[in-house]
Amino acid sequence: MYDNSERLLGTYTGSELAGKRIKVKSKKLKVVLDSDNDGIEGFGFSVKKIEHTPYSILPLLFEAAKQVDEEE
């Protein structure tokens, strides 16, 4: 898995992520899937839910207030 800067976030194999939840602080997430070509067909992976959690707007408000103070 890679973030929007193409930085590797983690490499997982087998059932390492089974039942786990991963939080990624990035606007984009790239998942690269590699097969071991073992000849077995069937279920390989699933994604149950992708949830967007908005960033806090407080840093934006502080930055806007700072710019107003600098202009005055």
Neighbours of 44 (CB within 10 A): 8
Q: What's the confidence (pLDDT) of residue 54?
A: 65
**Predicted confidence band of residue 12 (pLDDT cuts 50, 70, 90):** confident
Residue 69 and residue 63 in contact, taking contact as beta carbons nearer than 8 Å = no
**SS in 3 state form for the chain?**
CECCCCCECCCCCCCCCCCCCCCCCCCCCECCCCCCCCCCCCCCCCCCCCCCCCCCCHHHHHHHHHHHHHHC
pLDDT at 15: 80
List pLDDT tens digits, range 29-71: 888 887 777 777 666 677 778 777 666 655 665 666 666 666 6
Instruction: Kindly tell me if the per-residue pLDDT of 1 is higher than 70.
Output: yes
Q: Is the pTM of this model over 0.95?
A: no
Q: Average pLDDT, stretch 9-34? A: 83
